[in-house]
Amino acid sequence: ILNVEQSPQSLHVQEGDSTNFTCSFPSSNFYALHWYRWETAKSPEALFVMTLNGDEKKKGRISATLNTKEGYSYLYIKGSQPEDSATYLCAFHPNAGNNRKLIWGLGTSLAVNP
């Protein structure tokens, strides 16, 4: 059974704090790792799709790293703002045939207090 775990489950930080969360996934049959941000009442939005071991991606104040050998990815937010409040989901994309169904974590719910 393929399992994707995210930690922490929820996080409360003050505006200006930097924070990070973890996504753990199977280290075998890796194809890609996706990060999504889901704000309440909005569509989940793709942040990053990571495919190579050692990959680092950045979008504004948000960045992510990938370690496929040990099966984890970190998402970092520098100088958190209230608009960063959302659920951050990661999804593991196994290399299994043409379907490559995403396997989702439960998400990390981030609340940034002004």
Report the interface residues with another protein, using CB under 8 A.
4, 32, 34, 36, 41-46, 49, 51, 89, 93, 99-102, 104-107
Distance CA 18, CA 43 (A): 25
Beta carbon of residue 89, minimum distance to another protein (angstroms, whole number): 7
Residue with tokens 């999804």: 91
CB of 21 to another protein, least distance (A): 14
43 or 114: CB nearest another protein? 43
CB-wise, 16 or 96, nearer to another protein? 96
Strand pairing category for 108-113 and 10-14? parallel
Per the CB < 8 A criterion, the answer to whether 30 and 94 are in contact is yes
